[in-house]
Structure 1
Amino acid sequence: MTDRFPQNQSGKNSLALFLDAADKLPMRSENSRQTSGRLLFALDATASRQPSWDKACQLQGQMFKATDPLGGLQLQLCYYRGFNEFHITPWLTDSQSLLRIMTAVQCLGGLTQLDRVLAHCTTEHRVKPIQAVVIIADAVEESVDKLCSKAGKLGMLGVPLFMFQEGRDKTARQCFQQMAMLSKGAYATFDEHSANELAELLGAVATFASGGYDALQDLKSTAARQLLQQLKS
């Protein structure tokens, strides 16, 4: 089932870290706004990630700031959960719209659907180019070879994957590292104790999508240096 809008109301919100970091994006002039960067933000919303979503909800009051507009960035959110559920939002530039959508999300048990995420990235990129894809997940339950093949094809199209793994699952780590490398992107890990690091990583990717490699080089954060090192390799 594919749905353009999420359902089921709850207080969960895992986008607060990204929105907090997005206020650091380089602003574009009115003349360049029509060529604003496009970032696809994909989330694993299966049941195993519920505790981290609860943690993000607790941090929201401290970390969230109004970031409207998002400095020339267009963002599309997609997530998978439950039995074959795959949800996609329109392309948005309004942080409040993103927040409303994310607070309607509740994690549900189910298998990973990373293959579906990658297929959607390819489809969207062919409609209009995407500058970067962020995928946040903690597990992989699909063919690693198939995922890596699709990641490599995205790399050939110029769409880097920024794979951010929650936790320490060895199979997921090996798969995500390969997907990042084959797509000419980057990989990083985080856990419930590294909220600030995740916020910096997301802000760095958003800066890359909005302003390109040069804009990322201008950032002085540890996260930016970490991503730059991998993008250069």
Structure 2
Amino acid sequence: MSRQPTWDLACGLQAEMFKAIPPESALDVQLLYFRGFGECRNSKWVRDANALSRLMTGIECRGGHTQIRKVFSHAKAEHGKQRLNAVVYIGDAIEEDVDMLAQRAGELGLLKCPLFLFQEGSDQRVEAAFRDFARLTKGAYARFDSNAPAQLADLLKAVAAFASGGRTLLGQQKSASAKALLEQLR
């Protein structure tokens, strides 16, 4: 339930991702969410902002523990079918064994599947774990303030640019968020 305000924000900002890529490029996005008692679902792959918006507005947040392990496992399975250029995870808590999650992140790193982890809030334990997951996958970490929606929009646009055009297209983004993510990528 703590995620509903941020989910609502993301629903309003998701179209920004598609604006960050050149018209001749494509961005395929799959939405994966968890909620309640063990519920974890993924959508079909979509290629435009309207389709993603329809998927997102049909979902409501419910209380429950984090299921980051399932997110990482799903990313690994999808990457086995077709290369994923980026995985974005947005969260504010970790209620799972961090060492086990680090192992899963390391497995994604070996597959060259970068994680971009965006933290809402300032929990130092969450920050340390998210930074470690990003390091293990050669991805990036950023904290954002849900009261500053442009900041999350810039982060989503930066990852979309990276996913569709690599470091080159990410480097063409002008936001401070894009520059901060680029600096972390090795």
TM over 0.5: yes
* Corresponding position: 1:79 with 2:75: no
TM-score normalized by the length of structure 2:
0.92
* In structure 1, distance between residues paired with 2:56 and 2:158: 21
Q: Which has the higher helix share?
A: 2
1:231 corresponding residue in structure 2? 185
Aligned-residue offset at 1:87: 1.3
1:17 aligns with 2:10: no
Counting matched residue pairs gives 180
Match of 1:152 in 2: 106
SS in structure 2 of the partner of residue 150 of structure 1: helix
Distance of 1:219 and 1:137 partners within structure 2: 24
Aligned CA distance change for structure 1 residues 216 and 128 (closer, same or farther; 3 Å): same
Q: With structure 1 as the length reference, what TM-score do the two structures score?
A: 0.74
Aligned to 2:160: 206
Residue 124 in 1 paired to residue 78 in 2?
A: yes
For structure 1, the 5+ residue unaligned runs are 1-10, 29-70
| Structure (1/2) with the larger strand percentage | 1
Give 1:45-194 correspondences, 5 Å limit: 71-194=25-148
Give 1:131 deviation, angstroms. Answer: 0.3
Aligned equivalents of 2:10 and 2:174: distance in 1? 25
Q: Which runs of 4 or more aligned residues in structure 1 lie more than 4 Å from their structure 2 counterparts after TM superposition? A: none
RMSD: 1.4
- Residues of 2 paired with 1:130 and 1:154: CA distance? 10
The sequence identity of aligned pairs, in percent, is 44
Gaps of 5+ in 2: 1-6
- 1:223, 1:116 → 2: CA distance? 27
Structure 1 counterpart of 2:19, one-letter code = D
- CA deviation string 1:176-233 (max 9, x = no partner): 111011110000011222211110011000000011111111222211110111003x
Higher Cα Rg: structure 1 or 2? 1
| CA displacement, residues 125-169 of structure 1 (integer Å, 9 cap, x when unaligned) | 000110000000100000100111111111111100000001111
Match of 2:4 in 1: none
